[in-house]
Structure 1
Amino acid sequence: MQPMAPHHALLVVALLVTAAPSVHGQAASAPAPAPAPPKTITAVLTKAGQFTKFLQLLQSTQEAEQITNQLKGKSSTGGLTVFAPPDNAFSALPAGTLNSLTDQQKTSLVQFHVVAPLLPMAQLDTVSNPLRTQAGDTGRGKYPLNITSDGAQQVNVSTGVVNATVDSTLYSGDRLVVYQVSKVLLPWALYGPPVPAPAPSPADRKKKKAGPAAVADAPAADTAAGTTASEAARGIRGVGGGSCVAVIVAAMWWGM
């Protein structure tokens, strides 16, 4: 092989020096990849499939949009947890279970499946019950949700009306986690029996047994007393008048 001519060697070096900054410049100026946008509940359930009924409820009640806005908003720092029942869970409901609800009740039903904040699977068996959902009140006969674990990696969800299980994790991100549950979570406020009134306390029972306190009828008593006094006065006056007449008659008799 013939040695490279000096001017050829200089040309190669010049080309390498010229190209090097260009390569480094391109690498330095390349923009960092944008973070992936947070998944929406609609995208998660659509990709999972077999959640048509729940998706319809989410959209008709506008809760899907509400969840998306909450995840984007700065106020929702803790994220959200959604318990999603599949289509076969809705098919197992008695006929008319959903059709009998008003629009507001359907909204409450969907909100009962949404919890804030985000609850990873590892935290589901340590939550404080009853768990507050976006349906609101956890009081007696309202919207209580209880989550427990049987110690064998099975998480149970109880509403007081139905008992369901968490079957799988459909999606888990930094702002949203979606679980598949075995049944539609029917809240007590919409489907439970009427809550009986609380039993009266011992003090209330004692008061009821004694009955109301007797109150004297003062005006009637006064009237009766007044009548008796008047009659007595008339009697005294009558006796006094008769005595005077007797004295006068006796004086006249002795004077005769």
Structure 2
Amino acid sequence: NSTRVLAKFDHLSTFNRYLSETGVIKEVDSRSSITLFIPPNAVLDPVIASVGANNLLVIADILRYHCVLQYLEIKEIRSMTNATGIVLATLYQTTGKPTGEYGFVNVSVSHGGLIHLGVPGAASNATVVKNVTQHPYDMSYMELDHPLMPMDLGIDQGAAPSVNNLTAALKAKGNFNTFLGLLASTGVDKSLRSMSAVTLLAPDDDAFKALPPNALAELSQAQKIALLQFHAIATYFTMGSLRSVATPLPTVASSRIGGFELNVSTAGGKGVSFVTGLNRADVTDTELDTPPVAVYAVNRVLLPPEIFALAPAGAPGPALSVAPSLAPELSPAPTPGPSSSPSPSPSPSPSPSPESAPSPSP
């Protein structure tokens, strides 16, 4: 529990106290990995006073903006970015309230090795002072010299559109029948509607027809659930934010059993593609983009290497198979919460790379 960890540091007590008072601590502790950038009392107290100590809705969003949805260490940050920076999703983004990239934070490293954070597109306004403590590879805590202030503060979260709109948009199009049928038969549609925000990647009927025969029939019910959850991300992403977000991205399946991550590619133009390690799916259309829900049509079924394996070129037998060593019997799907990067654990390496792998679809 993060509040117990931070209780050891008196100079961070304001941040720690409001984690509990706003209820944000439940969102933080539901994550499999997360990094908290914490301003000390001396600089956070004036901000709390300016918005009102009882204005818990706004304070909650300020705290969420200090929570990055992946485990980070100072050495890792310095190796993955530079003075230009990278854009990382925060817990504030999962609410669906921020517009544009305001739910993301830009993390950059100056020539002197200092780590800076700020709103994307604006000057950085906070610097990492030091490590506080880490619990590899789940929770990381770092101290900032100034608070981060997200945009669009004070919007009533209850006014956000319902996630119930998610499947209605696909039904109206008429060419997602297989995907919708699987969501309903597995109960994944109900669990997705219980989430506070979601980005859904929906393969159309042609994408399912392109799969090798019996590719789905050989899956257990639990594996079908994991496959469908692999097409959902528990954060609202606009198309623009997908083009700049740091990857790999955890999916809803990641929060259950680890692994099941997606890489985002923008190579070859302005389009967005998702790469699994076995195949690649291109976004062909935006079916719904109403915070906190986004639904994007994709032209292939995304194949997780945790479930499937590709046969080497020219080998006898089916081109695509369920990989026994990569497909443990998964427990029945609980109602998923927001997900984040899972704790790094040994995971099977897919045989071919995305670029060289023979595609199971045309």
Q: Does TM-score exceed 0.5, indicating one fold?
A: yes
2:278 counterpart letter in structure 1: V
Q: Provide the residue aligned with 2:200 in structure 1.
A: 82
Q: Which 10-residue stretch deviates more, 95-104 or 123-132?
A: 123-132
2:254 counterpart letter in structure 1: G
Asked if residue 65 in structure 1 is aligned to residue 190 in structure 2, the reply is yes
Structure 2 portions without partners, runs of 5+: 1-158, 311-324, 326-347, 350-362
Asked if the contact 2:161/2:290 (under 8 Å) is kept, the reply is: no
1:99 counterpart letter in structure 2: A
Tell me, in whole angstroms, the C-alpha distance in 1 between the residues paired with 2:223 and 2:210. Answer: 20
Please give the TM-score of this superposition, normalised by the length of structure 2: 0.40
Q: How many residues align?
A: 155
Structure 1 portions without partners, runs of 5+: 1-34, 71-75, 197-256
1:61 is displaced (CA, Å) by 1.1
Deviations 1:123-176 (A, max 9, x none): 111122111001117999x41210011262111110001111111100110110
Structure 1 or 2: larger helix share? Answer: 1
Asked if the contact 1:144/1:188 (under 8 Å) is kept, the reply is: no
Q: Provide the residue aligned with 1:161 in structure 2.
A: 278
Asked if the contact 1:131/1:144 (under 8 Å) is kept, the reply is: yes
The 5-angstrom pairing of residues 1-256 of structure 1 reads: 38=162, 39-70=164-195, 76=196, 79-136=197-254, 142-150=259-267, 152-192=269-309, 195=348
1:192 is displaced (CA, Å) by 3.0
The structure with the largest alpha-carbon Rg is 1
Runs of 4+ in 1 over 6 A off after TM superposition: 137-140
Judged with a 3 Å threshold, the aligned counterparts in structure 2 of structure 1 residues 100 and 47 are, in CA distance, closer, same or farther, namely same
Asked if the contact 1:138/1:145 (under 8 Å) is kept, the reply is: no
Q: Provide the residue aligned with 2:41 in structure 1.
A: none
Between the aligned residues of both structures, percent identity stands at 36
1:107 is displaced (CA, Å) by 0.3
Judged with a 3 Å threshold, the aligned counterparts in structure 2 of structure 1 residues 110 and 180 are, in CA distance, closer, same or farther, namely same
Please give the TM-score of this superposition, normalised by the length of structure 1: 0.56
Q: Provide the residue aligned with 2:115 in structure 1.
A: none
Judged with a 3 Å threshold, the aligned counterparts in structure 2 of structure 1 residues 93 and 48 are, in CA distance, closer, same or farther, namely same
Asked if the contact 1:89/1:184 (under 8 Å) is kept, the reply is: yes
Asked if the contact 2:278/2:304 (under 8 Å) is kept, the reply is: yes
Structure 1 or 2: larger strand share? Answer: 2
Asked if the contact 2:161/2:292 (under 8 Å) is kept, the reply is: no
Deviations 1:31-80 (A, max 9, x none): xxxx796342221110121000000111011111111122xxxxx2xx11
